[in-house]
Structure 1
């Protein structure tokens, strides 16, 4: 791994904190993607602060989702169902309860359809995912290799 200067680590840590904030906002705002920001935060912290990286991937609310996605490139079925359900509830409410413009309604529905397709194309994590083989063989975790 490339050695980072203290300034680079500071910038990456600051970016990671910003991404965590955006990820938290994305949990409540329908069109802001939280998963992408949490994954960006994990990547930034992995290259700048072991303490912040450990905090993020061990967080009780979203840590397991980040670990699972980074290790297996998959998300649990429950997360898919929850995210698609919340997406459609908020989009439909916004489109038909708040917005009066038909072009904006169509745009919101198109965005929701595209996000739904994207979520459905991500692999579904099985209940018990196999342990990565590279970890035992190399002594380095697969999560570290994914970085």
Structure 2
């Protein structure tokens, strides 16, 4: 997997900048929901929000990147560092729980099989395609 390009996007034309800023706030809101709701991703929305803010107003991008948890997630993604092992476990567990709880609510067998395959594809992508960042032990 190649590392994402860490260089910011050029600003959009002046009349489009408010649209990019609005998109950044919408995506930030989805990211906050992702931090609160199990099974709903958060990091991807913050990465997209940072990209939108970089085109609309770099001050909002700097604000997002300065947030304690969110900023580190976006900076790590941009640097191609991957996910911490603990985050991978949490993500895969959330996928498994979401699939298990929703499976009985799907009335058609082919739908159930498709849903399990979607869950397995998500777990496979997280475990095999996203690099694992090994953080140093606490206190080290």
TM-score normalised by structure 1 residue count: 0.72
Measured in 2, the distance between the counterparts of 1:2 and 1:122 equals 27
2:46 is matched with 38
Tell me how large the CA RMSD over aligned residues is: 2.2
Measured in 1, the distance between the counterparts of 2:11 and 2:93 equals 43
- Tell me: CA distance 1:101–1:62, structure 2 relative to 1, closer, same or farther (3 Å): farther
Deviations 1:36-85 (A, max 9, x none): 22211111112222332123223234322111111134111111111111
TM-score normalised by structure 2 residue count: 0.75
Measured in 2, the distance between the counterparts of 1:2 and 1:49 equals 10
Measured in 1, the distance between the counterparts of 2:77 and 2:10 equals 24
- Please say which of residues 37-46 and 99-108 is displaced more in the overlay: 99-108
Deviations 1:70-126 (A, max 9, x none): 113411111111111111111111113x33332221121111111111111210112
Greater share of residues in helix:
1
- Please say which of residues 119-128 and 48-57 is displaced more in the overlay: 48-57
- 1:1-147, aligned counterparts within 5 Å? 2=10, 4-27=12-35, 28=37, 30=39, 33-96=41-104, 98-120=105-127, 121-127=129-135
Unaligned residue ranges in structure 1 (runs of 5+):
129-147
- Tell me: CA distance 1:12–1:99, structure 2 relative to 1, closer, same or farther (3 Å): same
Unaligned residue ranges in structure 2 (runs of 5+):
1-8
Tell me the matched-pair count: 126
